[in-house]
Structures are given as structure tokens and as C-alpha cells.
Amino acid sequence: MSGTLYLCATPIGNLEDITFRVINTLKEVDLIAAEDTRHSIKLLNHFEIKTKMTSYHEYNRVEKAKVLVKQLQEGKDIALITDAGTPGISDPGEELVRQCHEAGITVTALPGACALINALIISGQPTRRFVLKHFFHQIKRRKQILDSLENETRSIIIYEAPHRLVRTLEELHEVLGDRSMTLCRELTKKHESVFKSTLGEILAYHRENPPKGECVMIIEGKSFQELKEESQEEFLKIPLSEHMNRYMDQGYSKKEAMKLVAKDRGVGKRE
């Protein structure tokens, strides 16, 4: 009988944020797969967890996942932990979970700390719809991500390291303009800070005050009304006759084309 993969959330700054269930599971499984064993040993020592660890990180995620899946198939129970927070979000755990599903192995999650959720719910930004964006450091990939954000209507969540924050804020400000934004730092720690303002003001502040600690940015998405107005502005640049002909060339009658053109331009048919 195959074992089970347990995705165990660990604290993102405050050791008291670990659950009893996670502690017990880490003690009971056969093996703990950790993103950085040197970092995680401090956590295990604090809670007197003696379970054997093995490394599972970005640079061995595919091949090591195959090894872990084989051990799970042999009946071992394995816990996966990341350096901080919930495994599988913006870390190599995603690959291991995928391979487990392909192999028919049971995967379960033990909830707990998650930086993006903590940041979102204290940000003061809309929480009903949101998206997590991972910023690649390659210039070409960064540009693709930035371009995809311009018309994003959901709240945008981005993790960033302090030494790259100003550069990323500059790029975001250039593409998104001066949107509402919240910057969260040192979440759950003694010096936790929540800075809600605009992209421009937060950028100006951190140009003069270099940030410390890992950062989570939550940026307001573009409103549907703004998208609609921008679309109408683009249509208004097209000569009316050309706009009509676009629809009539597709087989619409003159009356039908007038309705569609009026809708595109945000005006009444008689205008």
C-alpha cells in the first residue's frame, strides 16, 4: 500500500503559528522533504522533531521528485515543508504534487501560515478576486509578466526580495501608473509593517529608505469601467465609415452594424 504525501505549512516568521497537527505529523512520518535542510533543522530542533530529512529544492525538483514518489509507492509517508509558509505556492512542491497525482499517490494538505493570504487580508485591497504573479529575473520574462498586468482586473499579489523592490516598483509604476497599493513586510514578525498608499508614493519612499525583510505587494487591479472607457477611446479613433464597414464586411446589415458601432463607441445609435 502506498504512503501519503503531507503538505505541511510552517511559520513565516513567528514560531507560534505552527499547528499541533503539523508538529505531530512531522514527528510521525518516515521522511521530511525540506527546501533547505540547514534552515529547517532549526524548526525541527525547536519542536524536538527527530524525523530524518532530505533536501528537495528548485534545482533537483524533477529528479528528486521521482525518488520521493518511489519511496511513497513503497509505503513510506513523507511530509513536504518549505522554508516558510505553505508548500506548493511559488516553490518546487508543485512538481512533486503533480508527479504524485500521476502515480496515484494520496496527497493531503495541513493548513497554516501563507504569506499571500496574510498580506491580502490585511492590505485593504479588494479580496474577492486576486492573482499571484511570480517575477522572473530574466529581462524577457519580466517584460511578459509586466505586459500581462496592464489590464489585469484582479488584485495583484507579488513576492519580492528587499534588494530588488525599488527596481520592481519602478517597472510596475511605468506600466500600471499610480494605482492603489499595499506593501507588507516582515509578516507575523515583531517589526511587521503594512504600508497602504499608491505605487508612486511607495516607490518614492523606498528610494530614500531601503527596505528590509521579505516583501509582499498587493496592487489594485484595473476596474472594468476603466477597461470599457479605454476600449471606447480606441474605437473613437477609427473613422465612423471604416468602423461601419468592418461589421458590414462580416455580413451584418447596416442597422445591425449601427447598433454594434454605437455599443463600441459608448454612444446612442442616433449620435
**pLDDT tens string 228-253:** 887 788 778 888 878 878 888 898 88
Q: How far is CA 173 from the centre of its chain?
A: 19
pLDDT at residue 229, rounded to an integer: 81
pLDDT tens digits for range 129-148:
999 987 666 667 888 888 88
Instruction: Judge contact between 164 and 89, C-beta under 8 A.
Output: no
Sheet holding 53-55, edge to edge: 53-55, 31-34, 78-81, 4-8, 106-110
Contact 45, 34 (CB under 8 A): no
Residue 2 — pLDDT band, cuts 50, 70, 90? very high
Exposed (0-12), middle (13-18) or buried (19+): which is 25, by Cβ within 10 Å? buried
Instruction: Grade residue 71 by pLDDT with cuts at 50, 70 and 90.
Output: very high
The vertex-50 CA angle with 44 and 55, nearest 5°, equals: 65
Mean pLDDT over the full length of the chain: 92
Residue 271 has pLDDT above 60, yes or no: no
pTM reported for the whole predicted model: 0.85
Q: d(Cα 137, Cα 36) in Å, to the nearest integer?
A: 21
Given the DSSP bridges, would you call strands 155-160 and 180-185 parallel, antiparallel or unpaired? Answer: unpaired
- Return d(Cα 164, Cα 167) in angstroms, integer: 6
What's the whole-number mean pLDDT along residues 62-73? 98
From CA 179, how far away is CA 193, in angstroms rounded? 20
Quickly state the pLDDT bin for 106 (edges 50, 70, 90).
very high
The pairs formed by 226-229 with CB atoms below 8 angstroms and a separation of 24 or more are 227/151, 227/153, 228/266, 229/266
Query: What pLDDT was estimated at residue 136?
Result: 65
Share of the chain above pLDDT 70, in %: 97
Give the Cα-Cα-Cα angle 141, 94, 28 (nearest 5 degrees).
Answer: 150
- Average of pLDDT values for 154-175? 94
For the segment 208-235, what is each residue's pLDDT rounded down to a tens digit?
Answer: 999 999 999 999 999 988 888 877 887 7
pLDDT above 90: percentage of residues in the chain: 74
- Residue 147: exposure state from Cβ atoms within 10 A (0-12, 13-18, ≥19): exposed
Strand partners, 184: 194, 216
How far is residue 34's CA from residue 40's CA, in Å, rounded to a whole number? 7
The predicted pLDDT at position 269 comes to: 54
pLDDT band at 64 (very low <50, low <70, confident <90, very high): very high
Average pLDDT over residues 29-38: 96
Using CB atoms within 10 Å of the CB of residue 8, give its burial: 0 to 12 exposed, 13 to 18 middle, 19+ buried. Answer: buried
